[in-house]
Amino acid sequence: MTNRETTTRETLTRNQTLVFDALAKAAGPLSAYTILDKLRDDGFRAPLQVYRALDKLVDFGMVHRLESLNAFVACAHPHCGQHGLIAFAICEKCGHVSEFSNDVIEDQVRGWAAANGFKPSKTTVEIRGNCAKCLNS
Amino acid sequence: MTNRETTTRETLTRNQTLVFDALAKAAGPLSAYTILDKLRDDGFRAPLQVYRALDKLVDFGMVHRLESLNAFVACAHPHCGQHGLIAFAICEKCGHVSEFSNDVIEDQVRGWAAANGFKPSKTTVEIRGNCAKCLNS
DNA sequence: ACTGATATGTTATTAAGTTACATCAGTTGC
DNA sequence: GCAACTGATGTAACTTAATAACATATCAGT
Ligand SMILES: [Zn+2]
Ligand SMILES: [Zn+2]
Ligand SMILES: [Zn+2]
Ligand SMILES: [Zn+2]
């Protein structure tokens, strides 16, 4: 039970469900500690409860970690099966995150890796800036 | 004094010089706290001394922050002037980091941004995996 | 019921980064 | 010289992020 193919929403444990729902209904990314606070009423007491659930959810592909924020978002395409390379555009004013994939970038990464004998396991692409909405206000 | 054009190595302060030298002579990326430990003998006592120097060095383009590691590396091309988009390949076994730039990726990012009214300020590209050396050993 | 594997609860600790405030050194204007 | 300003530094306390260690609980398969 370690990948999205064999694990669906139905098989999530109680804690995983609580954490995923918190992320899914949030407007933007949440830090692990923010999630913890939101789940105090559901019995959460310690960071590890959140981190353990997040680890699995990331593993399942249902949640992504934003490295430049130390925060987590629910996947915007939870039913698309296995993603290729995913990029995130993060608005520094309103916190909104857009998730998209880009085959050209993926090819470039693969190309550099092949040329340099590097074997990639995970690629992070995060664009920080301001979203259209914030620029027009 | 906020960009690489008007600031050279000569104008670094004592603390900035110490931090930069620590990074420059390191084999791989260092966390702020690791740098602090290395500089205890030079009088460093508090994290802020390191973070302040790092902020400036990053500003000058002489040091890069690796978001997925919460760590810092000296720029591999410190004399190339202003960089465009930079990508990092990070070996998870030996810690070695390769820095390279890629115009195609930069174009793709610009393209997505233009199409979505997003104004990018900084783009992070970090490839985690294993380097050639580690794969052949 | 026994066993192994996974999930959970709890406490304490380490690592990363910031706030607030005091001091010091150089520079500009008088 | 001296006030006033600016940027750099020192220090303590604190918040936030993540992990280690250990105890329990749940459940499937036999
Ligand atoms: Zn996704
Ligand atoms: Zn915005
Ligand atoms: Zn560089
Ligand atoms: Zn390596």
Among B74, B108, B124, identify where a domain stops: B74
**A64 CA distance to ligand 1 middle (Å):** 7
Residues B109-132 as b/e (b if ≥16 CB within 10 A, e otherwise) read beebbeeeebebeebbbbbbbbbe
- Residue A18's domain is classified under what CATH number? 1.10.10.10
Contacts of residue B105, Cβ cutoff 8 Å, sequence gap at least 6: A104, A105, A108, A109, B85, B87, B125
- In a mutagenesis test of the B interface, which of A70, A123, A130 is the best target, namely the one with the most B β-carbons within 10 Å? A123
A41 and A87 housed in the same domain:
no
CA distance B85 to B78: 15
Question: Which domain covers residue B94, as residue numbers?
Answer: 80-135
B66 and B85 housed in the same domain:
no
B contact residues 64-103, partner A, Cβ 8 Å cutoff: 67-68, 87, 89, 91-92, 98, 100, 102
Q: How many domains does chain A have?
A: 2
B42 and B68 housed in the same domain:
yes
A96 and A43 housed in the same domain:
no
Q: How many Cα atoms sit within 13 Å of B10 on the Cβ side?
A: 2
B60 and B90 housed in the same domain:
no
A14 and A65 housed in the same domain:
yes
- Per DSSP, the three-state class of B117 is coil
Per-residue pLDDT of chain B (137 residues; tens, 9 = 90+): 333 334 445 689 999 999 999 999 999 999 999 999 999 999 999 999 999 999 999 999 999 999 999 999 999 987 666 678 999 999 999 999 999 999 999 999 999 999 999 999 999 999 999 999 999 98
The long-range contacts involving B20-27, CB below 8 angstroms and separated by at least 24 positions, are B20/B53, B20/B57, B20/B62, B20/B63, B20/B74, B23/B57, B23/B63, B23/B72, B23/B73, B23/B74, B24/B74, B26/B73, B26/B74, B27/B95, B27/B96
pTM: 0.92
State chain A's mean pLDDT as an integer: 91
Structure tokens at A120: 């990639």
- Residue B118's domain is classified under what CATH number? 3.30.1490.190
Return the biggest CA–CA distance within chain B.
Answer: 52
Among B74, B99, B121, identify where a domain stops: B74
A7 and A65 housed in the same domain:
yes
* CB-based contact A85:A110 (threshold 8 Å): no
Residue A48 contacts strand D, CB under 7 A: yes
A104 and A56 housed in the same domain:
no
Please tell me the predicted confidence (pLDDT) of residue A2.
35
B11 and B61 housed in the same domain:
yes
CB pair distance less than 8 Å for B123 and A126: yes
